Amino acid sequence: MLTVTDHRRDYSGFRYVYPVVSRRAGGVSVGINLNPNNACNWACVYCQVPDLTRGGPPPIDLALLEQELAALLQDITAGDFMAREVPEGARRLMDVAFSGNGEPTSAAEFAEAVARVAGLMDRLRLPDAVSLRLITNGSLLHRAGVRDGIRRIGEYRGTAGAGEVWFKIDRATREGIAAVNKIDYAPDKARGNLIACAELAPTWVQTCWFALDGAPPDEREQSAYLDLLAGVRDKIKGVHLYSLARPSLQPDAGRLGRLAADQLAAFAARISALGIEVVLNP
């Protein structure tokens, strides 16, 4: 059966679509992988993608994506998928999420893929509060097609669920971003992209908080992160703060460590003190 520690993209034998049990979503998430070649413009030290490479995806077969998504959603909602594949207690369809093995917005077809997925979700009239989500590092907001796709997500209203973005900000100093996300990326650029994203769709910040070489993020890193959030607290929905759940498959995997629950809770309290809602997944 599916578990929170097994997020294999090939679980159903499809190219673009895969199911997972997501601890942060709170049930079954149907993922859409627009990067089947395992290519990303970042290389986060905690990434669970095997053979991760730098770059973007190949051309997307949108008709195949739509066909696969329809088949899996129908099995989940009208077939025996939940009883067959999902542990009791997690048998709820929570979202359809653009995530996968690289940065979803790097696909040239991203906006059209969003339009097709949203249209299919409407036609299937999904029964519960099923959201349409994008999980993104937010680095490509300068592209018109990316902004168009995010706007479409922000406009999505299903029978009960809605559209939203989970925007990755793991660290807020240039040095911290380089160490964790392996990218030369200015914090001011991240902040500007976050604001642009939040103006297009409801947006949560998602942050992986962990120890590196046995040490938690230091006070300089914590303060920079809190300062960044303080400047956008009226624009974002909140923060998903989480620690490591699955083993990294990157070269620095041995340097990573989970934080103690009380350490994570203490940092969550500092975020909450800013007047920001925090969803904590230790």
Residue 3 lies in a domain: no
Could you tell me which residues come within 8 angstroms of residue 4 by beta carbon, excluding any fewer than 6 positions away? Answer: 20, 21, 22, 23, 245
Residue 12 lies in a domain: no
| pLDDT tens per residue, range 146-161 | 999 999 999 998 766 7
Structural domains in the chain (count): 1
Q: Taking Cα atoms as reference points, which of 187, 184, 180 lies closest to residue 215? A: 180
Separation CA 64–CA 54 (nearest Å):
25
Whether the Cβ atoms of residue 41 and residue 91 lie closer than 8 Å to each other = no
The burial class, CB within 10 Å (0-12 / 13-18 / 19+), for 15 is: middle
State the 10-residue block means of pLDDT for the chain, 282 residues long: 64 87 86 97 97 97 97 94 92 94 98 97 84 97 98 85 94 98 98 98 97 97 98 98 92 96 97 98 87
Q: Which domain holds residue 46?
A: 17-281
Give residue 23's pLDDT: 78
Q: Taking Cα atoms as reference points, which of 132, 105, 97 lies closest to residue 193? A: 105
Q: Distance between alpha carbon 27 and the CA centroid of its chain, in Å?
A: 15
Separation CA 282–CA 241 (nearest Å):
8
| Domain of residue 175, CATH code | 3.20.20.70
Give residue 13's pLDDT: 83
DSSP string for residues in 261-277: HHHHHHHHHHHHTTT--
Whether the Cβ atoms of residue 39 and residue 58 lie closer than 8 Å to each other = no
Separation CA 133–CA 81 (nearest Å):
22
Residue 9 lies in a domain: no
Separation CA 150–CA 200 (nearest Å):
6
Please give the C-alpha separations between residue 167 and each of 99, 104, 123, 233, in angstroms, as whole numbers: 11, 12, 28, 14
Q: Taking Cα atoms as reference points, which of 65, 63, 69 lies closest to residue 95? A: 69
Residue 169 lies in a domain: yes
Give residue 114's pLDDT: 98
Residue 2 lies in a domain: no
Residue 5 lies in a domain: no
Residue 260 lies in a domain: yes
Give the chain's length: 282
Give residue 5's pLDDT: 62
Give residue 127's pLDDT: 67
Residue 116 lies in a domain: yes
SS3 at position 203: strand
Q: In degrees rounded to 5, what are phi and psi of residue 97? A: -125, 125
| pLDDT tens per residue, range 64-114 | 999 999 999 999 999 999 999 999 989 999 999 999 999 999 999 999 999
